[in-house]
Amino acid sequence: MARELLGKYLVRRRGKKLERFMITEVEAYDGFKDKASHASRGLTKRNAPMFGKAGVWYVYFTYGMHWMLNIVTGPEDYPAAVLIRGTEGISGPARITKYLKIDKKFNNKSATPKTGLWVESNPRFRNLKLEIKNSPRIGVSYAGSVWSKKPWRFFI
């Protein structure tokens, strides 16, 4: 799912204006066992959206100043999400939310035009093979040698 999101558009509606940003960098957080995932210590008030339906935003606040944008994946009751780390023109997960004015008001909301933040396929890339690379995830050294090394960061 993380790979699928690469090359697609993150679309933000503000008033009547639509802004589209091609997603270029993501990270996967998968299941109960993933020690790098907020869900590794079970259900909490904060990570609850990760346990819900796929296609819903999980937006949380960290480091006292940054909002992180994730989209929930997987079946209900199975915690998994993809962190949107970068788009064309914006690199860095906190900068995306800063520039697109994304905060807790999107948390637990569906990714649809109705909510003002969603994902669209990219017709430009329908027939183009993207060169996708991967690496360990960023900023998760606390997760131990196994989980911090999982190559679940994907980027174009």
Partner DNA sequence: TAAGTGATCTCT
Partner DNA sequence: GAGATCACTTAA
Binding region for DNA (CB under 7 A): 27, 29, 36-39, 41, 44-47, 50, 58, 60-66, 68, 70, 81, 83, 85, 92-95, 137-140, 142
Least distance from C-beta 70 to DNA, angstroms?
5
Lookup result for tokens 């697609």: 8
CB contact burial 118-132 (16+ within 10 A = b; e otherwise): bbeebeeeeeeeeee
Between 32 and 125, CB nearer to DNA: 32
Between 101 and 124, CB nearer to DNA: 101
Rounding to the nearest 10 degrees, give the CA dihedral for residues 84, 90, 95, 100: -80
List helix spans (H) across the chain.
2-5, 93-99, 144-147
Between 89 and 113, CB nearer to DNA: 89
Least distance from C-beta 127 to DNA, angstroms?
31
Least distance from C-beta 132 to DNA, angstroms?
19
Which structure tokens are listed for 48?
């609850």
Least distance from C-beta 93 to DNA, angstroms?
5
